[in-house]
Copies of this chain bind each other. A is one copy, B any other.
Amino acid sequence: MLTSALARSLLDATLAHAQQMGLKPLSVVVLDAGGHPVAFLRQDGSSAGRFEVARGKAYGCVMLGIGGAAQNKRAEAQPYFVQAMNGIYDGRFVPVQGGVLIRDAAGTVLGAVGVTGDTSENDAACAVAAITAAGLVAEA
């Protein structure tokens, strides 16, 4: 289960990795297995609308059970896929890297981390590092 303590710990670890990598200011959200926010932080210098970007990256992971890279690949191949997903998920769908699915060792989805602010690859790398360091499985 994705406890409040685990969510905050994943959020802090994501930001710590970003600092080590010298990234730009980030916004990080942790969603539970139902797509509902458990923890969020927007760093100074991260622009006003970043909650929606971070949530949009993580939301599709949980709803579809796939990571941001797989969503992005699909979006590149079929642009109408993005439109269709935003229709059914009330506009909460941002199919780019930086949305990372969290699974336990048995493969059960616990939730997802959504990161935005630097390049999509760097955004994802921080979340992957945090999830892995917690002994969980990251699907970027």
Is residue A118 within 8 Å, beta carbon to beta carbon, of the partner chain?
no
**How many Å lie between the Cα of A107 and that of B40 in the bound state?**
24
Interface of A is mostly: mixed
Query: Is A17 at the interface (CB under 8 A from chain B)?
Result: no
Using A39-B40, A40-B39, A41-B39 as known contacts, say yes or no to A63 and B87 having CB atoms under 8 A apart. Answer: no
Which residues A24-58 have CB closer than 8 A to chain B?
29, 32-44, 46-53, 55-56
A42 and B90 contact, Cβ closer than 8 Å, known pairs A34-B35, A62-B48: no
Distance in angstroms between the alpha carbons of A89 and B29 in the assembled complex = 17
Structural contact, B80 and A63, CB atoms closer than 8 A? no
* B88:A87 contact, CB within 8 angstroms: no
Complex partner residue of A40 from B37, B56, B95, CB under 8 angstroms? B37
Among candidates B8, B32, B91, residue contacting A90 with C-beta atoms closer than 8 Å: B91
Query: Shortest 3 CB-CB distances between A and B: which pairs?
Result: A34-B34, A49-B63, A47-B65
